Structure 1
Amino acid sequence: MESFCVKAPAKINLFLHIINREERGYHLIESLVVFAKLSNFLEIKVGEKNFRYDNSTVEFVNSEFRINYRYNTITRAVSLLLRHAPVRTKVTVKVVKNVPIAAGFGSGSSDAGAVIRMLGELWNIDRQFLNDIALSVGADVPASIDSKPVFVRGVGEELCPIKQCSLPTSLVLVKPKKKFLNTSEVFSKYKEDFSQPIKWSDNTEENLLELLKETKNDLQEAAISLVPEIQNVISTLESQEGSILSRMSGSGVGCFGMFDSEESAKAAAANIKKEYPEWWVCDTELMV
């Protein structure tokens, strides 16, 4: 049996615009997605299948909420990938959860992306197949295969990699503990007009921070109506010295603050932990 250790970094939507809705009911979005050094750690074991057991098993460690061990992003990804395995195979995954779930930080999506990336390389699976598998698992998963800065459109399938990310790299991530949001519920609460699509080009990358300040998370108001504490998180991040930008990430209760230096981020995290010990708080850096 072969064993592999891989990282699944936290995903952050620096902005998220709802630009349309297709006939099937899926919302079409555009988002600038980046990844942080804060990561889940996955131990993936691959070996010949014993017919007495399931194709895959998953064990989660440190998770704040209970996760369905038989039906989750990893087991869905593995079941689809096994169709391309060269022999009858069993995959076992142990996940140490450092990225909180149901926070908008892509904890489950990044886990699936890491598994798809690793098994795709191991079994030499065509990249288009990997992208299709990722999208069938979840809208955030295609971007999470490579875990690099990317501009995303559609339902998550249109990816435009960022060649040179010029953004400040110091972040503080905050999530109120024991609070979570259901993605479908947040989208159902969204009643605003659709945002105008951004005219994205290579030149856009040169002024990402200026672009960010002109964008927003269209789901933020809907989420705050469901969990008002989100507004307090954002306001607290904005009040810290060195704060550049703060908002909600994705459709979860988690928020990020971008800071002008590592020192400012660490000081902000310490201040927030002291003032709100009931919140999960982490200072980290962007992967660029």
Structure 2
Amino acid sequence: MSVRIGLVGARGHTGRHLLRLLAGRGDMQVVCAGSREFAGQAVTTLAPEADPALVFEALTPDDIAARGLDAVILALPNGAAAPYVAAIDAGSPETVIVDLSADYRFDEHWVYGLPEIYGRDRIRGATRIANPGCYATAGQLAIAPLRDVMAGTAHVFGVSGYSGAGTTPSRKNDTVALKDNLMPYALTGHLHEGEMARHTGRPVAFTPHVAEFFQGLTATVQVGFAEAQSAETVRALYEAAYRGERLIRLIDAIPEIRDGAHFNGAVLGGFAVSKDGMRGVSVCALDNLLKGAAVQAIQNLAIATGLPEFDGLV
């Protein structure tokens, strides 16, 4: 079985990694790659690993719906997915859609695809899958094992490389503005704040920052406990939650950007507890373009279509 895939938004940072990773699988094939800016150019100009015959196209929603694809991955900016979804719903409703934007992460008719936390059974056979955000993935991976013992709000301090700001020029991906700098932004109400709170079922306060490195992120998560906990008990909760998860690595040290960058999974560690046992701190490091986007999309697509989840990822 080979899943025929249309990739819309192929020229972005995440699209580049999707093309690379999908080229390494024999059971998934990108048969059309959308980019208005690069239309007519060989996809190998961006992703040397891709099929040499594949050419970027200026794919409209109707074009995508008419291709008879098994799956479509939408790697578009927030707010741009709806016309493609509507066209596929009307013309090819059985096509699996994995959307990497925030557009459907709050939609009860879509499956939220973070398999290590919310289970693979929900994803199997799904045709509409919302891929979690990068910060939201890191924050939830750190919060989830503690949900039953925590009290109050989880505080998430995040720092990401500037690739997280996309390719459209802005101050958040301006290397001059970022030089020797750490840039806080969206101090309240960030989309990932609501996303983490909705899916963990716990209040979350999130403060994102961008730095001058290109890719990777860390999320430092602090939670209060309903009853005093020990560091050993907290570590055991993480071990139980992620036992057997091939893309989750637990370490005793505090994870740094370099631990998560260019790694297909996530690294969790630190596991510190305050002297009175009432507050815990853990850190998650991952690559915002990989586990925070492209790798997770491939996991979700593989699970949904009954293919091996980890081929080419571990």
The question of a shared fold, defined as TM-score above 0.5 by the shorter chain, is answered with no
RCO comparison, higher one (Cα < 8 Å, 6+): 1
Give the structure-1-normalised TM-score: 0.26
Give the structure-2-normalised TM-score: 0.24
